[in-house]
């Protein structure tokens, strides 16, 4: 794989996509109507997400530049890891299946999200069996925690 600036094409593409998404979220949230009932209004959450995406992207760019300037063998190995096409393909398929399942409905959000996070965690860790209990614990905590936060605190109707 080609590595312009000593960084994999996959990482450059991902950073570019995150930056473009953050900018589009800021542009889109600027066009939303002003708040009626709460101080943040409908544009609050998209703006926060945009700022988080852009902030993390800038942080990653600075860390890449710092690692590149250090020119040590260990940082060169970190930056030189080739993107694994298999993990990317499986991860993309899992995300697509999750979105389709959310759209079609029939499975509660918490269970579907838990299965999604476990599947994605297994793919990302390369199927390491010793990491499976940690993946399951994180998936259960996040999926049921988000369900509670969305339904009880934010009163958002989740897909079922």
**pLDDT tens digits for 50-75?**
899 999 888 888 887 777 666 544 44
| Calpha distance 62→74 (Å, rounded) | 17
C-alpha–C-alpha distance, residues 134 and 67, integer Å: 30
Looking at every residue in the chain, the average pLDDT score rounds to 80
> Is residue 18 pLDDT above 90, yes or no?
no
Q: How far is CA 132 from CA 10, 19, 124, 127, 135, in A?
A: 26, 32, 11, 8, 5
Label residue 18 exposed, middle or buried (CB < 10 Å: 0-12, 13-18, 19+).
middle
In three-state secondary structure terms, 7 is coil
The helix, strand and coil proportions of the chain, stated in percent and rounded to the nearest 5, come to 75, 0, 25
Give the residue among 4, 28, 1 at the shortest CA–CA distance from 15: 4
pLDDT at 149 over 70: yes
Asked whether the predicted pLDDT for residue 133 surpasses 50, the reply is yes
């Amino acid at each position: 794989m080609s590595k312009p600036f000593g960084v994999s094409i996959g990482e450059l593409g991902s950073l570019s996509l995150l930056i473009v998404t953050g900018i589009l979220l800021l542009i889109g949230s600027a066009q939303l109507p002003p708040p009626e009932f709460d101080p943040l209004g409908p544009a609050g959450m998209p703006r926060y997400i945009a700022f988080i995406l852009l902030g993390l992207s800038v942080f990653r760019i600075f860390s890449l530049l710092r690692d590149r300037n250090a020119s040590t063998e260990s940082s060169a190995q970190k930056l030189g890891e080739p993107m694994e096409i298999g993990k990317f393909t499986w991860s993309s398929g899992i995300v697509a299946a999750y979105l389709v399942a959310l759209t079609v409905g029939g499975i509660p959000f918490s269970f579907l999200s838990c299965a999604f996070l476990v599947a994605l965690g297994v793919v990302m860790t390369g199927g390491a069996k010793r990491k499976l209990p940690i993946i399951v614990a994180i998936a259960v905590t996040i999926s049921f925690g988000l369900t509670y936060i969305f339904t009880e605190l934010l009163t958002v109707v989740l897909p079922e």
